[in-house]
Amino acid sequence: MPNNPVQVVLNTSDFIVRPEQNPGGSIKDFFAGRDTEFAAHKGRLLDELGQIHQQIKKQPDVGLEYAHVVLQSDAWAKSHRPVERVFPPDEVPLIGGGGLGELIIELTAENIPVVEKAIQKAEDIVIYGVNKKGEEVPKPTRYRSEVGAIQTVRSHQAIDRRAFSAEEAVLWLQDPRTGGLYIVETFADLREFDEEESRRSRARAALKRFLAELTQLDLPIEKLEPPPRWQASRLMFLRLRESSHLARPERVAQHQRLLEFLEQQPAVRRVLLPPLIEAGHVYHGALGEPVVLMAPNTSARYPVIGIIDTGVSPVSGLENWCAGRTDFVGSTNQDRRHGTFIAGLTVAASQLNAHALFSEYPCKFFDLALYPTETAAFQSFYPKGFLDFLQQLDVELGTAKAAGARIFNMSLSLERQVSDDSYGFFASIIDEIADTHDVLFVLPSGNLTSRLLRGEWPDDPNNALRMLAEYRHAGKDRILQPAESVRAVVAGAVNPPSCAVAPLRPATYTRRGPSAALGTKPDVAHVGGRGSPQHELISIDTSGRSIDGCGTSYSAPLVAKILANLNAQIEGNADRETLIALLAHHAITPQDLTKKELQRVARDFVGFGVPSTSSQMLETDDHSITLVFRGALAGR
């Protein structure tokens, strides 16, 4: 009998004790037993720094160069980073990270000698001592350890700043959904500097020089300001005003001039093309019979899910479950099938799909029709592309929250895969919106187009591994941005439990993790329908008839529904982290994916597994108990 409710421990500090650190911690020698190699390595690093120093001398009025410090693969741990002796932050500002195992630092004519001196202090020959076990081990200094942790040091180059051609940019920016924007990330922002601070005076001067020269370019440049709250440090948005009389080669030449200028500026870190927001490549089957939906109980209080999508059609019966709407995109040509299918699952998944996995209590929905399905009309609603879209979302959330929504299903994604070495700015703004409004977004992992579909998941685990290894489009099936968002829950898709082939195995269209920096995404998975003509996931069409469909866009609302009920059943205002923790803790990996051979790859498709229902999460049987501890990790 489920009698023991989940216990939330409020006095967490009484149970979680920070362990005492060993002040004598070991210092690793990355060149143990290879003193000759270390001496050569040290010489190479000094040569690399010397080359960077020569580049700096060529621009004495700038006197600055940003550089990538690439670490040895076994030196990625925080304790091994060369920032105590070789690159001390007081002398050498640490700007951020590059690729995996890369630090980006700010080198100047003044601090390069400091770095060179530290490298020279690293001893070529290490003395040995005896450890507690009586073993003879190397006893390197911190200088030797840090120098050994570095693989190479190289300057930030034009290829790091831009990964597309002017031709590609012109073609991409023609899409009205882009807003025609270039996203320019700088290494610093003027708001970071104290006018009296001299340590980064060269960085401030380089940035001011860049901004001044930008205004002097003989190009029709428009600098667009994001909303004040989102004037994120180190981001700016540029647009070239298009002239109708210019032929395509002349337009390309204008973009080429701007891009070449940007990639030559020391203050510029990178130039990006803007993302395109999509409602997902979902698939629908044939229409069925008209659906008579159950009516909500007038005396009951139902959780409310915000549906940020293409809009929900006012279908008879479905409209009874609508807690409110904001029809920002009021076009008569709007295709609302996507949003309506999601609303149907939110309300009546258990009525339309006969399996225990769909048995979560029904929810009401708040319709946020923010995504225009007519590409040509996108610019009229959102002249600045994704920036205006996010600003409108930020505005509309307050109304939806007032109607009771805290969990928001946003089955939209970008036409861009997550990156190993950077966290997307779209995800960053989604995180900021979630924090500001104290809401939780549920996002899809993204769908593969028909050209990229995988085959059905085989019965034999070795055949499954072979299928993945032989996938012809390796690297093109990663999850789509903003699914790397650490504040959001991301859902992948599995086949329906009722299908005869590969039940509850990753669907042929579901994208795979990991997230940025190899983080775990998706968080969980749910039924998204089968990627075949018989999708076996039923919802409602805009005509009020049943229809089957598939896509991670449709697994996401089933996860949102669980979270909304979980939030409603916990007394008081539960932390979002608590909701996510309970969801992950009670998720179950499908049986066919628990085989030893598949354990390493299964998480990239289903995360922690398929979630239990909210009632199963909140109660346990007489022989078990769930305790929730919540604490904060202090940074150093």
For residues 547 and 539, what is the distance between their CA atoms, to the nearest angstrom? 6
Kindly state the average pLDDT of the residues 418-430: 83
Backbone angles phi, psi at 333, to 5 degrees: -95, 5
When the candidates are 3.10.20.90, 1.10.1060.10, 2.60.40.1120, 3.40.50.200, the CATH number that belongs to 278-469+476-569 is 3.40.50.200
- Evaluate if residue 22 carries a pLDDT over 50: no
Banded model confidence at residue 469, pLDDT cuts 50, 70, 90? very high
Are 434 and 441 a contacting pair, CB within 8 Å? yes
How is the chain split into domains, by residue range?
35-156, 160-274, 278-469+476-569
- Interval 578-621: pLDDT, tens: 999 999 999 999 999 999 999 889 999 999 999 999 998 887 77
- Interval 543-583: pLDDT, tens: 999 999 999 999 999 999 999 999 999 888 889 999 999 99
pLDDT at 419: 82
34 DSSP 8-state letter:
-
Range of weakest confidence among 128-132, 153-157, 567-571: 128-132
For residues 362 and 323, what is the distance between their CA atoms, to the nearest angstrom? 13
Query: What is the 3-class SS of 412-467, one letter each residue?
Result: CEECCECCCCCCCHHHHHHHHHHHHHCCEEEEECCECCHHHCCCCCCCCHHHHHHH
Q: Which residue has the higher pLDDT, 621 or 165?
A: 165
Q: What share of the chain is helix, strand, coil (3-state, %, to 5)?
A: 35, 20, 45
| SS3 category, 51 | helix
Taking alpha carbons only, the member of 412, 549, 403, 530 closest to residue 482 is: 412
Are 170 and 255 a contacting pair, CB within 8 Å? yes
**153-171 core/surface letters (b: 16 or more CB in 10 A; e: else):** bebbeeebbbeeebeebbe
- Evaluate if residue 23 carries a pLDDT over 50: no
Backbone angles phi, psi at 62, to 5 degrees: -95, -50
- Evaluate if residue 25 carries a pLDDT over 70: no
Kindly state the average pLDDT of the residues 83-110: 90
Range of weakest confidence among 48-52, 103-107, 371-375, 546-550: 371-375
For residues 557 and 559, what is the distance between their CA atoms, to the nearest angstrom? 5
pLDDT at 64: 93
For residues 176 and 196, what is the distance between their CA atoms, to the nearest angstrom? 44
pLDDT at 627: 76
Q: Which residue has the higher pLDDT, 286 or 76?
A: 286
Domain 160-274: assigned CATH number: 3.30.70
Banded model confidence at residue 421, pLDDT cuts 50, 70, 90? confident
Length reported for the chain: 636
For residues 52 and 67, what is the distance between their CA atoms, to the nearest angstrom? 8
Output the average pLDDT for the chain: 89
Asked whether the domain spanning 278-469+476-569 has the same topology as the one spanning 160-274, the reply is no
**In this structure, what token pair is assigned to residue 7?**
């216990």
- Interval 238-259: pLDDT, tens: 999 887 778 888 999 999 999 9
% of residues, the chain, pLDDT over 70: 93
Are 612 and 359 a contacting pair, CB within 8 Å? no
Kindly state the average pLDDT of the residues 10-16: 58
pLDDT at 344: 97
Banded model confidence at residue 633, pLDDT cuts 50, 70, 90? low
**320-350 core/surface letters (b: 16 or more CB in 10 A; e: else):** ebbbbbbebbeeeebbbbbbbbbbbbbbbbb
Specify the DSSP element, H or E, that contains 137.
strand 136-138
Are 202 and 213 a contacting pair, CB within 8 Å? no
Q: What is the model's pTM?
A: 0.88
pLDDT at 231: 67
Q: Which amino acid is at 411?
A: S
pLDDT at 376: 81
The angle, 0 to 180 degrees and rounded to 10, between the axes of the packed helices 337-352 and 552-569 is: 60
pLDDT at 11: 59
Are 309 and 342 a contacting pair, CB within 8 Å? yes
Pairing of strands 545-550, 7-9: unpaired
pLDDT at 8: 65
Q: Which residue has the higher pLDDT, 631 or 55?
A: 55
pLDDT at 20: 47
Specify the DSSP element, H or E, that contains 579.
helix 576-585
Are 519 and 377 a contacting pair, CB within 8 Å? no
DSSP 52-108: HHHHHHH-TTT-EEEEEEEEPGGG-SGGG-STTTTS-TTTS-EEEE-STTEEEEEEE
pLDDT at 79: 82
